[in-house]
Structure 1
Amino acid sequence: MSSSEVCNESVFSIFFRKNANALRNYLYYKFGNLSQAEDITQDAFIKLWQNCADVPLEKAKSYVYTIATNSSLNVITHEKVKLKYQKRNTQNVRIHENPEFLLEESQFKEKLLKAIEKLNETQRVAFLMHRIDGKKYSEIAEILNISVKAVEKRIHIALTELRKEFDYFK
């Protein structure tokens, strides 16, 4: 009986550092709850560690994504999913910006968030993974287990829908 590479602490640690943030962001974009995404990400990696002998390294990424997605679906059953953004702790000094500009900026951000919330889940997830995480279409396709063409279509449709909300995006 041979032990899986995943059971090696240094291999597991490297795998965790390489994939944990991306998994957390994926869950956040998909389900809209940051603390839930963080908890479920941790749980998925704990389950991977507990089952490391049964999961080959090349299947580990798919394993944690599947565990995390299923756990998230169980947690949010019967809830309406709303996308929320975590406010970043950036203390921008805006002394020289006029109040009218600040109001317009605030209204624009609110309108953008509402427009992104209106996207269907598949479009929203692909769009945010590309635009926020900077993932390539091929990376998104691998994570979502779809073709690159499907990713392109989802992002194209998302942009089309967002353009409908904002005339000056054209």
Structure 2
Amino acid sequence: MPKNPSENICEEAAFERIYNKYADDVHNFLYYKYGAQYNPRDKAQEAFMKLWDNCKKVPFAKAKSFLFSVADNMMLNEIKHQKVVLKHQKIKPKHYTNETPEFVLEQEQYFERYNKVLANLKEEHRVAFLLSKAEGKKHSEIAEMLGVTQKVVEYRIYSAFNVLKKELEGFKIK
């Protein structure tokens, strides 16, 4: 170490000497105290970065205690953070809704009827309708895919919509 205890840590040569002397010690301290799962090498490097950021405030004689204290606190903060993460992972999302059982049953019955009516549509009407409403394709895209004119596609979608409206009371689509 330097002969002058008031040496400035902000000087590159002084900081390098501190780093070479304490880097392995800080790492080993963190590794033996907390284990490898919290990345002791990274925390040791971060402690040296903090020392560099605060080089004007930390006297040369206090550099070692500063490094060990900062590294230890960083590791404790990491452990606290991991505990919070684990706590939130244990919380299970709710598996219920505010919908009444009657509503859920009506919804299931409606979808069954909807699928049945869809299955009974002519294939070309069903394909055009589903490409338009389920896939969000434009009429011109559907016409190109099916090899027909845009007017034919519009007629097929309109026909399918009318059948669904007739078979399912209250059927509305956007």
Instruction: Report the TM-score when normalising by structure 2.
Output: 0.43
Greater RCO, CA 8 A, separation 6+: 1
Structure with higher Rg: it is 2
